[in-house]
């Protein structure tokens, strides 16, 4: 009997302690919005903070927020955002200084924190508190891939050197030919050479250039031999060998389908009006910085967009439709819904060169009392955060619907894919050969014509001379 009482007492005490802790737990109001991959909308329950068998990928921000709030000892009170997937308003400031969207819920004290990853901007900094950064994400431009036109295919054979280099090569060749012709002329005058034949020297130089040194190419002055030596060493030897090597790698490299190489290339195209920026959300950090930032990238982009304003689409899929059908560039991030949805389309390419990574943060109300303990929780859970991020974005799990494209263009991987040389890569070389044969055929007929013409003239002259004689 006494034993039972003690047991009941202990049980009661335990219950009491549990109750105490439970009562003492502070509530934190968290905005949850259906926005894959932050929070997938296809799990049975929403929000689901931990992965389970039925729902292995509930959303990366959901998992992080669940863990961090639990570590900080808070009870999560969900505040659901009633948005349709693809048209979430992350937070926009109206002209009368009120915020709408998710940030509006923080500003009017409907919630304490949003379960979404934000980037810092000066404007947001004035109105809200940011946590420690959780991850770094890569900004990316999505754009329709460039179809290869016949011009770029023909250009293949010239790819190893830039246009300027080609001009310098031709220029230096012509200079050397002229110098050698001059030297041979002087040699004739000095009596070292029997005949002065500029064309012969020219063809000999071409032979030397093509690594086919002619036996008759002799110079009698030291200066002439020195020029020929350098001609053979640099112009023909070095440049031709280099060309052979570079041509092979240029032909083997997969053809680039990006309309621009990096952020600077994009700014040029925007400045010329050939491409337009499109977004579904103007309050995005990228467009906020476009208006306010002093970063050189944004300053030059601002100048470029002065006459080419940013186009606003209704939703993420509308923006992607525009990118797919026209000259539009959509700046997004690797962790965004737009990235998720663009993976379901086939003819898009991604350019991230020249765009530095940006930090991702949780946003709290201004002067939030939760900030300190949540920051501690973020630091203590950095392993879990890293692990979750790489689980969703770096390890290649299929977390969305991915279509079967005939060829997935992955420009982030510069590794040269070994493949047999196809017609598209080599057609330039054959075309050059064909042009050469065509020119030589034309020249051949011109030469025959001139030869026959001269013969006719000659026979006329002879007949006239004979007639004069007879007369
Ligand atoms: C600000 O403007 C919006 C519409 O533009 C309006 O709905 C809202 O009530 C205004 N807020 C204040 C505080 O005036
Ligand atoms: C707070 O702002 C959100 C988003 O603009 C709005 O939906 C909600 O009705 C507002 N709540 C109050 C109490 O004003
Ligand atoms: C937010 O807090 C800062 C001080 O930390 C203050 O200067 C600023 O005015 C506050 N912003 C708003 C919108 O209340």
Question: Residue 211: its pLDDT value, please?
Answer: 74
CA of 178 to the centre of ligand 1 (A): 79
Pair (236, 321) in one structural domain: no
Summarize pLDDT for 372-420 with one digit per residue, the tens. 999 999 999 999 999 999 999 888 787 777 776 765 545 455 555 556 6
Pair (26, 133) in one structural domain: yes
Question: Residue 227: its pLDDT value, please?
Answer: 86
| 392 occurs within a structural domain | no
Q: Starting from the edge strand earliest in sequence, which strands make up the sheet with 113-114, in order? A: 74-80, 26-32, 113-114, 363-365, 128-130
* Single residue among 356, 379, 407 that ends a domain in this structure: 356
- Domain span at residue 94 reads 2-137
Question: Which residue lies with its CA nearest to atom 3 of ligand 2?
Answer: 105
The answer on pLDDT for 44 being more than 90 is no
C-alpha 49/C-alpha 233 separation (Å) is 70
The angle, 0 to 180 degrees and rounded to 10, between the axes of the packed helices 382-393 and 371-380 is: 70
User: DSSP letters of 215-254?
Assistant: TT---SSHHHHHHHHHIIIIIIIIHHHHHHHHHHHHHHSP
Question: Which residue lies with its CA nearest to atom 1 of ligand 1?
Answer: 96
C-alpha 353/C-alpha 295 separation (Å) is 16
Contact by Cβ (8 Å): 248, 340 = no
From the CA atom positions of the chain, what is the Rg in Å? Answer: 37
Proximal ligand: closest to the CA of 99: 2
Question: Residue 468: its pLDDT value, please?
Answer: 86
Query: CA dist 105 to 100, 120, 204, 382, Å?
Result: 7, 18, 82, 27
Enumerate residues lining ligand 1, CB below 6 A.
94, 96, 98
Q: What percent of the chain has pLDDT over 70?
A: 91
Q: What percent of the chain has pLDDT over 90?
A: 51
C-alpha 350/C-alpha 348 separation (Å) is 7
Pair (158, 82) in one structural domain: no
**Total domain count, the chain:** 4
| 368 occurs within a structural domain | no
Say which DSSP state 284 is in.
Answer: S
Q: Can you give the CATH number for the domain in which 8 is found? A: 3.40.190.10
User: How sure is the predictor about 254, in pLDDT bands with cuts at 50, 70 and 90?
Assistant: low
Ligand 2 neighbourhood includes 98 CB (under 6 angstroms): no
Pair (266, 248) in one structural domain: no
Answer with the residue of higher pLDDT: 90 or 409: 90
The answer on pLDDT for 225 being more than 70 is yes
- CB proximity list for 177: less than 8 A, separation 6 or greater: 201, 202, 205
| 159 occurs within a structural domain | yes
Pair (28, 64) in one structural domain: yes
Average pLDDT (208-216) is: 78
Q: Could you tell me how many helices (H) and strands (E) the chain has, helices first?
A: 17, 14
- According to DSSP, the residues that pair with 328 across neighbouring strands are 276
Pair (320, 442) in one structural domain: no
| 31 occurs within a structural domain | yes
Element (H, E) at 32: strand 26-32
Place of tokens 């919630």: 111
Contact by Cβ (8 Å): 112, 349 = no
Question: Residue 18: its pLDDT value, please?
Answer: 45
User: DSSP letters of 35-59?
Assistant: BTTTB-S-SSSSS--S--SS-S-S-
User: DSSP letters of 448-463?
Assistant: HHHHHHHHHHHHHHHH
Ligand 2 neighbourhood includes 100 CB (under 6 angstroms): yes
CA of 370 to the centre of ligand 1 (A): 29
When mean pLDDT is compared across 33-42, 230-239, 311-320, the lowest value belongs to 230-239
Q: 3-state DSSP call for residue 92? A: strand
Place of tokens 């034309």: 442
Q: Measured from the CA of 367, which atom of ligand 3 is nearest?
A: 2
Question: Which residue lies with its CA nearest to atom 14 of ligand 3?
Answer: 127
Q: Measured from the CA of 96, which atom of ligand 1 is nearest?
A: 1
User: How sure is the predictor about 20, in pLDDT bands with cuts at 50, 70 and 90?
Assistant: very low
Average pLDDT of every residue of the chain = 86
Contact by Cβ (8 Å): 309, 270 = no
| 364 occurs within a structural domain | no
User: What global pTM score does this model have?
Assistant: 0.73
| 220 occurs within a structural domain | yes
The answer on pLDDT for 10 being more than 60 is no
Proximal ligand: closest to the CA of 89: 2
Query: CA dist 215 to 188, 204, 205, 218, 385, Å?
Result: 19, 9, 12, 8, 73
Average pLDDT (301-318) is: 94
Pair (304, 218) in one structural domain: no
Contact by Cβ (8 Å): 130, 361 = yes
Angle at the Cα of 9 from the Cα atoms of 7 and 14, rounded to 5 degrees: 95
| 230 occurs within a structural domain | yes
E-strand spans in 283-404?
A: 311-312, 328-333, 348-351, 358-360, 363-365
Question: Residue 304: its pLDDT value, please?
Answer: 94
CA of 147 to the centre of ligand 1 (A): 48
Enumerate residues lining ligand 3, CB below 6 A.
126-127, 366-367
- CB proximity list for 225: less than 8 A, separation 6 or greater: 219
Summarize pLDDT for 130-159 with one digit per residue, the tens. 999 999 999 999 999 987 777 777 777 777
Q: Measured from the CA of 99, which atom of ligand 2 is nearest?
A: 5
Question: Residue 232: its pLDDT value, please?
Answer: 82
Question: Which residue lies with its CA nearest to atom 5 of ligand 3?
Answer: 367
C-alpha 210/C-alpha 242 separation (Å) is 13
Pair (299, 348) in one structural domain: yes
Question: Residue 73: its pLDDT value, please?
Answer: 94
Answer with the residue of higher pLDDT: 98 or 13: 98
Question: Residue 21: its pLDDT value, please?
Answer: 46
Dihedral, CA atoms, 449, 453, 459, 461, nearest 10 degrees?
-160
Pair (265, 237) in one structural domain: no
Proximal ligand: closest to the CA of 31: 2
Summarize pLDDT for 262-298 with one digit per residue, the tens. 999 999 999 999 999 999 999 899 999 999 889 999 9
Residue 53, both tokens: 């068998």
* Single residue among 252, 280, 312 that ends a domain in this structure: 252
Q: 3-state DSSP call for residue 312? A: strand
Question: Which residue lies with its CA nearest to atom 1 of ligand 2?
Answer: 105
Pair (29, 106) in one structural domain: yes
Question: Which residue lies with its CA nearest to atom 8 of ligand 2?
Answer: 105
Proximal ligand: closest to the CA of 103: 2
* Single residue among 356, 382, 410 that ends a domain in this structure: 356
Answer with the residue of higher pLDDT: 253 or 237: 237
Contact by Cβ (8 Å): 364, 29 = no
The answer on pLDDT for 19 being more than 50 is no
| 398 occurs within a structural domain | no
Mutate which of 97, 366, 367 for ligand 3? The one with the most ligand atoms within 8 Å of its CB, which is: 366
How far, in whole angstroms, is CA 359 from its chain's centroid?
A: 20
Pair (433, 468) in one structural domain: yes
The angle, 0 to 180 degrees and rounded to 10, between the axes of the packed helices 163-189 and 222-230 is: 160
Pair (34, 122) in one structural domain: yes
């Amino acid at each position: 009997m006494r034993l039972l009482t003690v047991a009941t007492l202990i049980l009661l005490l335990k219950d009491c302690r549990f109750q105490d802790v439970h009562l003492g737990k502070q509530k934190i109001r968290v905005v949850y919005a259906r926005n894959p991959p932050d929070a997938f909308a296809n799990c049975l329950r929403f929000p689901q903070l931990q992965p389970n068998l039925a729902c292995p990928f509930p959303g990366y921000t959901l998992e992080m927020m669940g863990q961090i709030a639990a570590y900080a000892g808070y009870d999560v009170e969900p505040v659901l955002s009633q948005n349709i997937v693809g048209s979430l308003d992350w937070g926009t400031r109206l002209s009368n200084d009120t915020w709408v969207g998710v940030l509006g819920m923080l500003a009017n004290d409907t919630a304490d924190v949003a379960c979404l990853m934000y980037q810092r901007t000066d404007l947001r900094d004035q109105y809200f508190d940011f946590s420690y950064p959780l991850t770094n994400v890569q900004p990316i431009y999505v754009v329709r891939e460039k179809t290869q036109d016949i011009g770029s295919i023909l250009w293949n054979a010239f790819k190893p050197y830039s246009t300027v280099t080609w001009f310098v090569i031709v220029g230096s060749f012509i200079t050397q030919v002229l110098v050698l012709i001059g030297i041979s002329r002087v040699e004739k005058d000095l009596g070292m050479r029997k005949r002065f034949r500029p064309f012969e020297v020219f063809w000999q130089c071409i032979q030397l250039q093509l690594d086919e040194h002619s036996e008759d190419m002799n110079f009698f002055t030291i200066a002439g031999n020195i020029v020929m030596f350098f001609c053979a060493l640099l112009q023909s030897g070095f440049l031709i060998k280099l060309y052979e090597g570079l041509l092979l790698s240029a032909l083997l490299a997969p053809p680039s389908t990006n309309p621009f190489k990096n952020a600077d290339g994009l700014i040029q195209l925007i400045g010329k009006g050939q491409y337009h920026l499109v977004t579904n959300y103007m309050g995005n950090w990228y467009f906020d910085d476009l208006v306010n930032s002093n970063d050189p990238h944004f300053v030059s982009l601002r100048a470029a967009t002065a006459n080419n304003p940013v186009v606003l689409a209704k939703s993420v899929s509308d923006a992607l439709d525009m990118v797919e059908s026209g000259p539009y560039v959509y700046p997004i991030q690797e962790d965004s819904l737009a990235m998720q949805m663009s993976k379901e389309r086939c003819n898009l390419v991604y350019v991230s060169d020249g765009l530095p990574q940006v930090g991702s943060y949780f946003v709290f109300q201004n002067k939030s009392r939760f900030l300190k303990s949540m920051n501690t929780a973020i630091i203590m859970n950095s392993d879990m955060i890293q692990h979750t991020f790489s689980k969703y974005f770096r390890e290649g799990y299929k977390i969305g619907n991915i279509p079967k494209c005939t060829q997935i263009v992955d420009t982030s991987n510069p590794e040269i894919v070994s493949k047999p040389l196809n017609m598209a890569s080599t057609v330039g070389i054959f075309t050059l050969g064909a042009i050469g044969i065509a020119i030589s055929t034309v020249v051949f007929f011109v030469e025959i014509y001139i030869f026959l013409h001269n013969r006719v003239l000659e026979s006329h002259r002879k007949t006239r001379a004979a007639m004069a004689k007879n007369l």
